[in-house]
Structure 1
């Protein structure tokens, strides 16, 4: 079943690294994929041949859940089925490949079972020693509504797009902006009311970035022309530059330090398994 396992690892790794199935990759991406898949498969084979692997059991519920998560990477069930066909993966082969993957993950979790949770004091020490990691630049919480410019559609010619954006700009207010985005915005963010998130300087198109970081809190922009069309921006909230408090950071620090400890243990265990120096 290892050839089929390799096909599954290749498909899943390609989606994770490049958001594309293997056949859509460039030559350089194919080379990187082959390198990662070869290493992943070698580790998985060795892990599953270990004594610890005899202690783990993967049930049908876990397999069903993993299959459902995999399917979410595809736009439709047809695209999912096509990807399986392209990778020569039958339903049974796919199920076995996923079982191998989950078993390998369970073994790696097993070898870390005696690692103790990170204490508050350990987290506090890390926080005190790395203050630069907790400085937060100024941000803006923002939404936007986009009317694209496209000469091929009469409602999106430069003149018509500008007119439509201007009319919408006259209507917007905090109570209706998200609904107007859902109805009129031509950006994928429309499904979330045009939400852009907590935006840092330099992360948006230059025209939007300049406008947003010069807007008052709780204000709306006039239509802003960018390379893709006209945007109406809602600067919902100003978040000034600040240092994240220990109370806010504690849980993430503890989680990150625990994960580091687990990875160190796994590398040490794998090194012994491969009878070589710790893996990089």
Structure 2
């Protein structure tokens, strides 16, 4: 009871956000331990946001009405009708007015942090080159084979899946494939016992070592468009179709530069924001109860 009462003193929208972020559930669906954790996070986030909004950098930040109204409408549109929306607000101790106020506050906090992030330095070509050479493994793509398969299991408990019958069935399917390889997806849907049958037997693009060893060895010796012999793994019989071969390659520095630049830029932005947040003064009232 004490935990629930304590949570009730937390700013409602902050508590709702923390609850959804931590547990993907509304506060009223949390057990006492989860509620306490969400309540603690909500208080911490609300205090930090208050420090952001009290900073000199926030003074000149103006949020256009259309921005927070769009955020409000996005939430409103999740519900079938107005009454369902209002019931959900009430359940979370919110009203239309307090939700709008909370969304305006959130938009302003985001805008201030964006303003601070804009101070981050530009990424130089030298830094990009250093990152590329220090993380070379990120830019080496292994050979991939785009593959589909048809699978029939061996299970002596079922007459049609005894070893002998499973072998005859898969051989018959392969014989049909050799005559009409363009019907692989159709035959996979009809005969394969793998869930991938619903997608034409597609396993996707696979690197070496992902499939059973018996399949892997054959797949990486096949030509594009080739249908394999019947192969046996520990779970049954397979026929593979090597649809396409994607050769191993190393992404050049030139081609990798945009991705590296974006990654490093985001890192600089986060570091800039963290340093600024750490520099903000702590209010004397922090640590005390609020919103009660």
Q: d(CA) in 1 for partners of 2:91 and 2:232?
A: 44
Other-structure match for 1:151 = none
Match runs of 1:1-280 below 5 Å: 3-14=11-22, 20-22=24-26, 33=38, 36-54=41-59, 55-61=61-67, 63-64=69-70, 68=74, 87-141=92-146, 177=185, 198-200=205-207, 211=215, 214-215=218-219, 216=222, 217-218=224-225, 235-274=242-281
- 1:187–1:32 CA distance, 2 compared to 1 (3 A): farther
- The structure that has the greater radius of gyration is 2
Note the residue ranges of structure 2 that are not aligned, 5 or more in a row. 1-8, 153-157, 284-292
Q: d(CA) in 2 for partners of 1:87 and 1:5?
A: 8
State the shift of 1:118 in Å. 1.9
Aligned residues: 251
State the shift of 1:51 in Å. 2.3
Q: Give TM-score, length-normalised by structure 2.
A: 0.57
- 1:21–1:201 CA distance, 2 compared to 1 (3 A): farther
Other-structure match for 2:289 = none
* Contact 1:21/1:83 (8 A) holds in 2: no
- 1:218–1:36 CA distance, 2 compared to 1 (3 A): farther
State the shift of 1:41 in Å. 2.9
* Contact 1:145/1:190 (8 A) holds in 2: no
Aligned-residue CA RMSD (Å): 5.4
The secondary structure found in structure 1 opposite 2:117 is coil
State the shift of 1:53 in Å. 2.2
State the shift of 1:274 in Å. 3.8
Q: Give TM-score, length-normalised by structure 1.
A: 0.59
Q: d(CA) in 2 for partners of 1:86 and 1:189?
A: 45
